[in-house]
Amino acid sequence: MPPINNIVILTGAGVSAESGIDTFRDGGGLWEQHRVEDVATPEAFARDPNLVLRFYDMRREAIQTKAPNAAHDALARLDAAWQGELLIVTQNVDDLHERAGAKRLIHMHGEHLNAWCTGCDTRMPWTGPLLDRPACPACGVAGLLRPDIVWFGEMPYRMEDIYHILNRADLFVSIGTSGAVYPAAGFVREARASGARTLELNMEPSQGSHWFDEARHGPAGVLVPAWVD
């Protein structure tokens, strides 16, 4: 078995489930009778901005009441201790990886604590509601702020950096994701093509389970510490 130096870890909503943050596609995965695919799009924002802003205001408020769980803590320990290359790529917009202490982290779908001014293109930390159309602190114009979150049909962040490390990975671990959303769902194939070993840690087989060398099923709060420690 060749040595493992470079690790890429992909996380999805399942890693935050035991912190009390709803996943997207479990148990209905609905919000007020809307699927995330129907709300998290530029078209939905253009069609009904209040619906979309309310969706994100409620999620931002909910996330701030949650805490990292044993899976986030174990990944932060690994990040601190691992001497080789390591990158956690999260699809999640919550900040639980950061609050657990993870440093080598990319939010490919953006972050719920950031806003983006569609007027002056400034991105900024944002913890308050957006529904009341606050003025952008940078350009002063009201009503142009949106969540700095990657919606369907929009390009995820830092894809070049992600593929650069993915193509050097010796080990790719996917944690708590259904493998329903691209390009994240394709990372396991990229990793395999580069010769990496692949491991899936998830409550149940994901849509891409058959691409993994090994899959362990159960709660991330149990599987991830067992794998890390």
Concerning whether 107 is annotated as a catalytic residue, the answer is no
Q: Is 134 in the site for ligand BV8 (CB under 6 A)?
A: no
What crossing angle do the helices spanning 70-81 and 220-228 adopt, rounded to 10°? Answer: 20
Q: How many residues bind ligand BV8 (CB under 6 A)?
A: 38
Q: What is the rounded distance in angstroms from the CA atom of residue 141 to the CA atom of residue 128?
A: 17
Q: Is 153 in the site for ligand BV8 (CB under 6 A)?
A: yes
* Choice among 97, 107, 109, 112 that is catalytic: 109
Q: Is 91 in the site for ligand BV8 (CB under 6 A)?
A: yes
Phi then psi dihedrals of residue 107, to 5 deg: -95, 95
Residue 93 among known ligand-binding residues: yes
Residue 37 among known ligand-binding residues: no
Secondary structure tally for the chain: helices H, strands E: 8, 11
CA separation (Å) from 53 to 12, 25, 59, 60?
Answer: 22, 21, 10, 10
Binding mask 173-202 for ligand BV8 (x = CB under 6 A): ---xxx-xxxx------------------x
Burial class (CB in 10 A: 0-12, 13-18, 19+), 30: middle
Q: What are the structure tokens assigned to 223, written together?
A: 């599987």
Q: Is 156 in the site for ligand BV8 (CB under 6 A)?
A: yes
Residue 58 among known ligand-binding residues: no
Among 44, 88, 105, 149, binds ligand BV8 (CB under 6 A): 149
Q: Of 26 and 132, which CB lies nearer to ligand BV8 in the complex structure?
A: 26
Q: What is the rounded distance in angstroms from the CA atom of residue 170 to the CA atom of residue 85?
A: 10
Q: Is 51 in the site for ligand BV8 (CB under 6 A)?
A: no
Residue 108 among known ligand-binding residues: no
- Positions in the binding site for ligand BV8 (CB under 6 A): 12-14, 17-18, 23-26, 29, 36-37, 40, 91-93, 109, 149-156, 176-178, 180-183, 202-204, 206, 219-220
Active site residues: 109
